[in-house]
Amino acid sequence: MSNKSVYLLVFSIIFLFFSKSLYDYVRLTNFVDPFQDIDSKGYIYNAEKFYRHNSFFIKNIDETAPYFSLGYPLFLGVVYKIFGPKVNIVIWLQILLSLFTCFLIFYIAKIIWGVNVGIIAFALSAVNIGFITFSNFILTETLLTFLLTSFIYFFVLFLYKSDIKKLIISGLILGSSIFIKPAALYFVFPIIIVLFFANNYKIKNILLFCLSFYLPVFSYAYFNKVVYKSFSVSTLKNESLYFYLYPKILAVINKTSESIEQKNVSNLLTGCKIDSKSWDLISKNFKRDFDNNKLIFVKIWLKNVAKTFLGLYSTNLKVLIDSNINRKNLSFFKKSGSLFERAKKYIMSGTNLFYIQFIAFAESIWSLLRLILILISLIFVLKKRDFKLFFFLFFYIFYFAFISGHDGCARFRMMFEPVLIILAAQGLYMIYFRLRYKSCPFGAL
């Protein structure tokens, strides 16, 4: 076994050790809805329905499409079918999925910059608080991150190997990710720009990617049309804007609180929130206030994006180990005092456990340092004039960060966490060589 294989084995064991330790702690200390967060019950409800009835649709009960996409409930339902409705099996499968994601990150970094950067990326993945924490949640993050990382792997293979099959596979995987969450629905447009900077046969490659991407997207929409009479991939429509972003705007305009304004918005609903017509009055008010307060809208949106970039996974970890915590009270922006005092309260709040506070402190320092490493890596990619790679990585981060502007949270960063890890690994590698050899190589030597 080579030294590099030993590194992979050691860090795999480290990841499994931390994940199992967290699993054991939650199982032994949390007896009320363990491994669950705010959205978990909706996924479990549909999974149990599939488990009992072999269908997500029950006549005279399900009149509209489900609130959530059905991919993750299907994953849970299939596990229930095979092993019975056991949450522990789901958690262990998610832990393995996260470990596979770590390996995918290793191979992506290896393809781009060499095996040394790949090992650093694998090490960073193995101790990533987000991967360890969300593996232990009944939430979409682990499965969605695995699919998105698989898309990145095959797309990067296409960029460097010019293999059309890899391009088609990447499109199919990205399109299939909307079964879990429709976050990538419009990412096809940045990909079109990247393909213009890629290899020959630009029009052909764009058409092939779009066809492979939209095949699962339209298939899922058609499924909703046949079963629920709604040709769409999501029933949420603009609710993320109206129910999450808008109250934040109104709280600033009216100098009240977000919770008060959220109740006021809810009172304006004229029917079922899944019915788009029920939001007509709210939509009208939203457009009016946007026209009169554009700068406030932009400020709040960018503030939420910053929360996604700099929010701590440790906050989600605190919620996992203590389900009685009100997550809103953990927000950095809910704290008072100077910047340092708010940061200290943000790190320390929500738990009396020293090692959790230490993890939060270490994660906060790393989050800031990592931004510098990521910037260094992107600058070097640009200086090397590898435009296809630069635009792909930049657009990927920008797109998935930007769409979180309605309600920023570290949880949303899981969608682009693999790219941040890969860039940070390359940044660390370049700094190491700069300090030791007075040079900054672009990847492995």
Summarised one tens digit per residue, pLDDT across range 284-305 is 999 999 999 999 999 999 999 9
Residue 441 banded pLDDT, cuts 50, 70, 90:
low
Sign for the CA dihedral angle at 402, 403, 405, 409 comes to: negative
Token pair 């109104």 is found at 250
Q: What is the pLDDT of residues 357-387, one digit of tens each?
A: 999 999 999 999 999 999 999 998 998 888 9
Q: In the predicted model, what is the mean pLDDT of the chain?
A: 90
Average confidence (pLDDT) over 194-205: 83
Whether 366 maps to a domain, the answer reads no
Percent of the chain exceeding pLDDT 90 equals 65
Predicted local confidence at residue 64, as pLDDT: 66
Name the pTM for this structure. 0.94
Range of the domain at 173: 3-232
Whether 152 maps to a domain, the answer reads yes
**Structural domains of the chain, count:** 1
Predicted local confidence at residue 405, as pLDDT: 92
Q: Which residue has the higher pLDDT, 318 or 437?
A: 318
Whether 30 maps to a domain, the answer reads yes
Whether 50 maps to a domain, the answer reads yes
Predicted local confidence at residue 442, as pLDDT: 52
Predicted local confidence at residue 231, as pLDDT: 81
Q: Which residue has the higher pLDDT, 235 or 287?
A: 287
Whether 381 maps to a domain, the answer reads no
Residue 445 banded pLDDT, cuts 50, 70, 90:
very low
- Nearest C-alpha neighbor of 47 from the set 80, 69, 96: 80
Does the structure show a pLDDT above 70 at 438? no
